[in-house]
Structure 1
């Protein structure tokens, strides 16, 4: 499912927002604010994550006339998406962390 998913710094920032609270459903502007991204950058990332099966989305139940604002589309990680997100962020961290930060093999224990 995750083949071809670009793990950019922006994608990692979005995934970290979701991983901060797995039970929370978040709407786009909220995610953009917490990830430090413009909404124009966010929505293509969310679309890719949803297409990969990492994220699911749904519209809030009330109509905009009841809410006094446009309806929000909410996003949350799927169970598989949470596992994939953790693994992807750990792998990205390993790729970008200088090897000097890791102990030499056999030096611990």
Structure 2
């Protein structure tokens, strides 16, 4: 799993599950050309469910006229798998950090 996919999943898990593309672009600092394919792949894999904003939701926001947003949210399966993937990344980072520290100790002892 790529770092970009993990960044998107981390956003869903950390900030709550209902998100739209432009919001993910702002939060992750990834371009829309990266975000949109990730969202499509996760939706096809069953990790995300998509729904369109209703005109009533748009009006309630008071944003004036703008195109309706396509929202994505983690499915139960997606939440479980995203949590595992993020925990694995954390364990891998910790392991790499430990290896780096060990290498530094060895080099200093020479």
Q: TM-score range by the shorter chain?
A: 0.7 to 0.9
Runs of 4+ in 1 over 4 A off after TM superposition: none
Please, which of 28, 32, 44 is the counterpart of residue 35 of structure 1?
Answer: 28
The Cα of 1:93 is off from its aligned counterpart by: 2.8
Q: What residue number does 1:93 align with?
A: 90
Shift in alpha-carbon separation, 1:59–1:9, aligned structure 2, 3 A: same
TM-score of the aligned structures, taking structure 1 as reference length: 0.75
Give CA-to-partner distance per residue, 1:38-86, whole Å, 9 cap, x none: 01100000011001100011001118xx651111000110111011001
Give the helix-richer structure, 1 or 2.
2
For 1:84, which of 75, 81, 97 is the aligned residue? 81
Q: Which residue of 1 aligns with 2:14?
A: 20
- Consecutive unaligned residues in structure 1, runs of 5 or more: 1-6, 102-109
Give the secondary-structure state (helix, strand or coil) at the position aligned to 1:12.
Answer: helix
SS in 2 for 1:70: coil
| CA–CA separation in structure 2 for the residues paired with 1:28 and 1:92 | 24
Q: Which runs of 5+ in 2 are unaligned?
A: 100-110
TM-score, structure 2 as length reference:
0.75
Aligned pairs, how many?
93
Q: Distance in 2 between matches of 1:42 and 1:59?
A: 17
* Structure 2 match to 1:55: 48
> How many angstroms does 1:89 deviate by?
1.6
